[in-house]
């Protein structure tokens, strides 16, 4: 799998770097240097704890916009530019709920991958969201980003499809029409456990395409999720007390990554 080539390990763990509120966000603290400083601290804690990759995202830009402001994308690019020389593992970027902006951000920052809900029509607290993957993949081609990996959310957290659909049917449709580089299977919200049977269902039709556990991976669930998947995206579990709003806890990173490394050594 390409994941082994990029991350250098089987079943990689991609750690989320949750950027604090940015300029233009309602909860922005009017101090961009403080946002940079916190991102730097989290990145170093995650890398020193042994994670295999990083995904830098504007997770605290709440409430999320279905069309991100220019200042949001510019702020993320600025932060990545400030910290790029300190990043020692493959990294991706994400503008939450904005696949096209994520792609453009990747082009500007040299990111290796992006993750988003590229396909589907959803309903949630943010209203109705209709994606346009065809536009995204065409722009990827136009920008010459053949190296960029796209991690497709099969079932985005917090939102639901406008019409109930079987997850295997969704996965098959994405695989047929969009040639995804990976599929991500989620729980009900950030940090919520992804049901193992859902991961297994997607894995059963994915062929050689990697399937990631997208939420709810932690010290207690690690082995079970790794058995079913090809890796995981981990955010909340690495934070103090396992709470979304907190900063990264180096001890929790080390604990989880020690479990992952022990699992790999027994493969």
pLDDT tens digits, one per residue of 6-44: 999 999 999 999 999 999 999 999 999 999 999 999 999
β-pair type (149-153, 182-185) = parallel
Calpha distance 29→179 (Å, rounded): 41
Tokens of residue 2, six digits: 């390409």
User: Which pLDDT band holds residue 241 (cuts at 50, 70, 90)?
Assistant: very high
Q: Which two tokens stand for residue 197?
A: 């049977």
Is the model's pLDDT at 189 over the cut of 80?
Answer: no
DSSP letter string, 200-264: HHHHHHHTTS-EEE-S---TTTHHHHHHHSS-EEESGGGBGGG-TTSPB-HHHHHHHHHHHHHHH
In this prediction, residue 164 carries a pLDDT of 81
Please write the tens of the pLDDT for every residue from 96-142.
Answer: 999 999 999 999 999 999 999 999 988 888 788 889 999 999 999 99
Check if the beta carbon of residue 121 is closer than 8 Å to that of residue 162: yes
Q: In this structure, which CATH number among 3.30.499.10, 3.40.50.800, 3.20.20.390, 1.10.10.370 belongs to the domain 2-262?
A: 3.20.20.390
- Is residue 191's pLDDT more than 70? no
- The pTM score is 0.96
Domain boundaries, the chain: 2-262
Q: What is the pLDDT of the chain when averaged over all its residues? A: 96
Mean pLDDT of the 37-56 span: 99
pLDDT at 119: 95
Instruction: Considering only the C-alpha atoms of the chain, give the largest distance between any 2 of them, rounded to a whole number of Å.
Output: 48
DSSP state, residue 131: -
Q: Identify the band that residue 77 occupies on the pLDDT scale cut at 50, 70 and 90.
A: very high
pLDDT on residue 165? 86
Instruction: Indicate whether 249 pLDDT > 70.
Output: yes
DSSP result, 80-112: HHHHGGG--S-EEEE-TT-HHHHHHHHHHHT-S
Question: What is the predicted pLDDT for the residue at 234?
Answer: 98
Q: Tell me: the pLDDT tens digits for 137-183?
A: 999 999 999 999 999 999 977 777 777 889 999 999 999 999 999 99
E runs forming strands in 20-153? 53-57, 91-94, 113-116, 121-124, 127-130, 149-153
Question: Which pLDDT score, from 0 to 100, does residue 152 have?
Answer: 98
Question: 3-state DSSP helix/strand/coil percent for the chain, to nearest 5?
Answer: 40, 15, 40
């Amino acid at each position: 799998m390409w994941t082994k080539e990029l991350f250098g390990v089987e079943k990689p763990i991609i750690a989320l770097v949750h950027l604090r509120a940015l300029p233009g966000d309602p909860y922005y603290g009017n101090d961009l240097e403080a946002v940079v400083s916190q991102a730097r601290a989290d990145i170093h804690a995650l890398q020193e704890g042994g994670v295999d990759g990083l995904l830098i995202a504007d997770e605290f830009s709440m409430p999320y916009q279905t069309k991100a402001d220019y200042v949001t994308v510019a702020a993320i690019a600025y932060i990545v530019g400030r910290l790029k020389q300190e990043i020692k593992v493959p990294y991706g970027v994400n503008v939450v709920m904005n696949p096209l902006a994520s792609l453009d951000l990747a082009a500007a920052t040299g990111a290796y991958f992006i993750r988003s809900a590229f396909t589907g029509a959803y309903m949630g607290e943010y209203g109705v969201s209709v994606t346009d993957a065809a536009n995204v993949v065409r722009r990827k081609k136009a920008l010459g980003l053949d190296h960029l990996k796209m991690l497709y959310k099969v079932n985005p957290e917090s939102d639901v499809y406008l019409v109930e659909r079987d997850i295997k049917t969704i996965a098959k449709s994405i695989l047929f029409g969009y040639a995804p580089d990976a599929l991500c299977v989620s729980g009900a919200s950030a940090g919520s456990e992804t049901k193992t049977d859902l991961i297994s269902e997607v894995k059963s039709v994915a062929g050689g395409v990697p399937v990631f556990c997208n939420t709810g991976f932690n010290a207690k669930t690690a082995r079970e999720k790794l058995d079913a998947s090809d890796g995981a995206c981990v955010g909340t579990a690495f934070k103090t007390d396992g709470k979304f709003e907190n900063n990264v806890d180096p001890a929790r990173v080390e604990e989880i990554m020690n479990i992952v490394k022990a699992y790999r050594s027994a493969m």
